[in-house]
Amino acid sequence: MTQLMPDKCHDFDWREIKPNVFRGTEYFQQQLERFGTIPVALAAYNAGPTRVASSKEWPRETRLYVKKVTGYYEGLTSRSN
């Protein structure tokens, strides 16, 4: 399941897996379209798009999140080759 802020969950029960994953994926796609790269989109997903757009340095938590998620992705894609 994804983790969404309450303002993104007003029209569905966040505990329901299908709408939760759909909304989280949709939100990440919006960030990817806005920022253009996976690392910056992940940062926006984690810290918020306004914070990422207006800051030169991401919070430590966000930097670690981006590193962790891209590491998982690289691990998964290297196994499939």
Q: Specify the pTM.
A: 0.81
Query: Which of 20, 58, 27 is CA-nearest to residue 45?
Result: 27
Q: What's the pLDDT tens digit per position in 25-71?
A: 999 999 999 999 999 999 999 999 999 999 889 999 999 999 999 99
48: alpha, beta or left? (left if phi > 0; alpha if psi -120 to 50): left
Res 22 pLDDT > 70:
yes
Length in residues, the chain: 81
Q: How high is the pLDDT of residue 45? A: 92
